[in-house]
Amino acid sequence: MEDLIKKFLDYLKEEKKLSKNTLESYKRDIKNYVVYLNSKEMTILNSNKEIVNGYIESLEQENKLPSTISRNIASLRSFYKYLYNDKLVIDNPTKDIEAPKIEKKSPTILSNEQVELLLEQPKPVDLKGTRDKAMLELVYATGVRVTELINLNLSDVDFKSGYIKCAGLHNKERIIPIGNMALKALNEYVQNARGNMLNTPDNSSLFVNVNGNRLTRQGFWKIIKYYQEQANINVDITPHTLRHSFAVHLLENGADINVIQEMLGHVEKSSTQVYMSITQNRLKDVYNKAHPRA
């Protein structure tokens, strides 16, 4: 079974060009499914629709979120489709399996005041504070995903022209302007902190942790949570919150949605248009509160 899973993951990596994090999700979902199959004395190759439904019910009994269950179903569908196409299974047991309905929630958007308060928290008085200031400023200035942020190398920054080169989904490269305040914080970090934090001089990572290695997703998540508490902001802030806020604030200040789509690296325009409805609702709310005849 391990060989089948490895071949499937290699196929996703080579043919579908999926990211490392997505591949890890597929691997985790399928291995959890295998554990369930073992408990039923079944295998991947002789499983059936009844067994798959039983696995989904077990996830529900564990109070897994609908989004988690849907992701598991998607992973199994993709896996069995691969096996079926390679004639390793006679039938696809995930066919016609229904995923739970997921209630779409509007992205959390910070106000301009909340963003300013958050960005004011890191103090560039030591190595860590200088790095954290640069990271938060850069995320809000560019709207990059957290994976894109931590994968940046020093060579991806053009300090003279003021932009970063970013490899997004499916390794599609895009160029994003930085902005003066983020550029200043980034320059401060590179000039005065990064070199002292590196574990080896030839480390190409732009942002490193206290051990001198490339910062991880979890590391950056903890950084944001720390400064959220420091700022006493009663909103659940994640790395994606700054990405959402970046997009909405640009729209509110007249930026073209096509330009925002390009900077965010959205393949589908509909992904960016979500922010249009948020902006319109925010404007309507302001109008209703402020206009004497609203």
Catalytic site residue from 131, 145, 214, 243:
243
Tell whether 12 and 78 lie within a shared domain: yes
**End-of-domain residue from the set 67, 85, 103:** 85
Q: How confident is the model at residue 294 (pLDDT cuts 50, 70, 90)?
A: very low
Tell whether 141 and 250 lie within a shared domain: yes
**End-of-domain residue from the set 70, 85, 100:** 85
Q: Is 77 a catalytic residue?
A: no
| Structural contact between residues 163 and 175, judged by C-beta atoms closer than 8 angstroms | yes
Q: Is 145 a catalytic residue?
A: no
Q: What is the pLDDT of residues 271-280, one digit of tens each?
A: 788 787 777 6
Tell whether 45 and 181 lie within a shared domain: no
- Report which of residues 285 and 45 the model is more confident about: 45
Residue 293, pLDDT > 60, answer no
Query: What is the rounded CA–CA span in Å between residue 235 and residue 49?
Result: 42
Q: What's the Cα-to-Cα distance from 106 to each of 114, 232, 244, rounded to whole Å?
A: 18, 22, 10
Per the structure, the complete domain to which residue 139 belongs is given by: 112-290
Tell whether 135 and 214 lie within a shared domain: yes
Tokens standing for residue 269:
């325009």
**CATH code of 168's domain:** 1.10.443.10
Q: How many domains does the chain have?
A: 2
Give, in degrees to the nearest 5, the angle at Cα 257 between 112 and 150. Answer: 65
Residue 197 lies in a domain: yes
**CATH code of 16's domain:** 1.10.150.130
Tell whether 72 and 179 lie within a shared domain: no
Residue 102 lies in a domain: no
Query: What is the average pLDDT across 181-191?
Result: 96
Q: Running DSSP on this structure, what letter comes out for residue 253?
A: T
Tokens standing for residue 128:
């860590």
Q: pTM for the complete prediction?
A: 0.66
Choice among 14-23, 32-41, 47-56, 204-213 with the minimum mean pLDDT: 14-23
Residue 12 lies in a domain: yes
Query: What is the rounded CA–CA span in Å between residue 2 and residue 31?
Result: 9
Quick one: the chain helix, strand, coil %, rounded to 5? 60, 5, 35
Mean pLDDT value across the chain: 88
Tell me what pLDDT residue 292 has.
59
Tell whether 64 and 128 lie within a shared domain: no
